[in-house]
Amino acid sequence: MKKNHQVLKWLILMVGALVVMFVGQRTLTAQAASIDGSSYVTSAKVTNGPDFKPGDTIYVNYHLEFGDTPLHSGDVITVPLPDNLKSSKTDTFDIYAPDGKTVIGQAQVTKGGQSVEVTLNDKAEGMSNKNLDLTLATKYNGNEYGEQDVNFPNNHEDEINIVPNDANLSKKGTLQDDNTVKWTVLVNRRELELKNLKVTDTIGPNQTMIKDVTVSKAYWESNSTYKREKPALVEGQDYTVTYNDGGFDLAFTDTVSDMIAIDYYTKIDDPSVINDGYVFRNEAEMSWGSGSGSGSNKEVANGKVSTTGKNTGSGNGDSNTGTDIDEGNNGGEPGGNGDLDGDGNPDTGTVDVDGGTETDQEQTDREGEENATKQPNQPTKSKTATKKATQATPTAKQAAGAQALSQSNRRNHTGKLPQTNEARSWARVAGLGLLTSTVALAAGRRFF
């Protein structure tokens, strides 16, 4: 009989442990929820512009306030973008508490997508007066020029002005997974008739040219997307190319009246700088002229790839401890733009996003404002009043170029560090398991 008592006690203890595990798992799982963030948006706006070429980066800022709405680890908050904006790239970035170090969640956006999803972790537990700030990099998701209404969730409105891109040369870079950069030079974007057309490309520091180039005719499918024709042009027949230590010189053998896409790759010499915000730079120059003389007209375009953050987020609220924490900073993003279908093949008729260009002055202005955003207590700049829309209706030949404009400073919200109630949840579960075991043992003694 004594042996039977021992076996029964062990069985009862095992049942109690299983109850703790089962109920605990159900308790924690039940806390996770899908939350539509639309009704919690208290302000939303475009933070740069107001004038944008079709491929330009448009930064938007959301401020959400949840009050005493319960938020738990695993909750997914979905915030939609306006119908005429889309995410500029696929990205995953952290949401920081006011100390700039504690991660309270993670956000995800998908290139071309029209929403952002924020998944909270246990650091978001136990907060009151909760709020969330998001700054997102987007692109125009339309095909019209002029003033466009931007309708954010919860009846918040703004306006942007889409203007044509008159540049005839542009260059963009795309950071690859194998520590290379794919560069694309768009030549004769306006599809003019150009004689003696030449292109000189100069790669920047920390890169080595990978031969060869691929040269293709291209045409516009919309104001911001183009498609390469196939097959690609033939070296020695349609063009000649000379490689050098700093890049290449390319000359066309006949008059060019089509848009031309030149694709090539560079190897990153020191991959360790990729995630440190390093900017990889390249420059392209096109020249042309009439008759048999040398080109007398020139145009220059700068291309760059950076891992500097564009999508950022911060969360705040009051905890149960009353501890004040200083305001934090932001998260980051990798990479750059690429082909829409993602096949990475430059000569198969791939639809591509217009990479655009920027002048030296635009670059200086943009980098100055980006540096300003790194100051944690910098106030948000007010946006210039929206300009009047361009009245002329451009043709498909006046297609747009993409250029990352200045990132606006996000709003600061001082508050207190979130505190988790996970320990309290497990304490309740453990208590339930102990109670179950005690009752079972008592019943066993009485029975035997």
Q: What is the pLDDT of residues 35-56, one digit of tens each?
A: 999 999 999 999 998 999 988 8
The reply to whether 421 falls in a domain is: no
pLDDT on residue 304: 86
Report in angstroms the alpha-carbon separations of 232 from 55, 266, 288, 390, 400: 25, 20, 22, 36, 23
Rounded Cα distance between 315 and 328, Å, is 10
Q: Are residues 43 and 112 in the same domain?
A: yes
pLDDT at 115 over 70: yes
Torsions phi, psi for 91 (to 5 deg): -160, 145
Q: Express each pLDDT in 362-419 by its tens digit.
A: 445 545 554 444 433 333 333 333 333 333 333 333 333 333 222 333 333 333 223 3
Q: Domain tally for the chain?
A: 3
- 140 within domain boundaries: yes
Q: CATH number of the domain that 236 lies in?
A: 2.60.40.740
**158 and 240 in a common domain:** no
Looking at residue 184, what is its pLDDT? 96
pLDDT above 80 for 264: yes
Same-domain check for residues 188 and 229: yes
Same domain? For 186 and 155 the reply is no
**18 falls in which pLDDT band (50, 70, 90)?**
low
Residue 439 lies in a domain: yes
10 and 79 part of one domain: no
Indicate whether 11 belongs to any domain. yes
3's CB contacts (< 8 A; 6+ apart) are none
Last residue in a domain, options 306, 329, 354: 306
Query: With a threshold of 0.75, does the pTM exceed it?
Result: no
Could you give phi then psi for residue 121, rounded to 5 degrees?
-115, -170
Same domain, 126 and 147: yes
Res. 426: pLDDT tops 90: no
Could you tell me which residue, 433 or 176, shows the higher pLDDT?
Answer: 176
- Tens digits of per-residue pLDDT, 321-362? 322 222 222 222 222 333 333 333 333 344 676 655 444 444
Same domain, 152 and 264: no
Q: What is the pLDDT at residue 339?
A: 31
**pLDDT digit string (tens) for 287-327?**
998 655 454 799 999 988 876 657 777 776 654 332 222 22
CA distance 410 to 195: 48
pLDDT above 70 coverage of the chain, percent: 61
Residues 295 and 174 in one domain: yes
Which of 286, 306, 326 is the C-terminal boundary of a domain?
306
| 206 and 123 belong to one structural domain | no
Residues 317 and 389 in one domain: yes
Share of the chain above pLDDT 90, in %: 44
Are 158 and 258 part of one and the same domain? no
Q: Point out the domain boundary residue: 285, 306, 327.
A: 306
205 occurs within a structural domain: yes
Q: Do the domain assignments include residue 359?
A: no
Is residue 136 assigned to a domain?
Answer: yes
| Residue at 347 is within a domain | no
* Domain residue limits at 139: 34-164+310-337+381-416
Q: According to the model, what pLDDT value does residue 317 have?
A: 60
Q: Summarize pLDDT for 181-226 with one digit per residue, the tens.
A: 999 999 999 999 999 999 999 999 999 999 999 999 999 998 888 9
Backbone angles phi, psi at 288, to 5 degrees: -155, 165
Residues 317 and 213 in one domain: no
pLDDT above 60 (res 134): yes
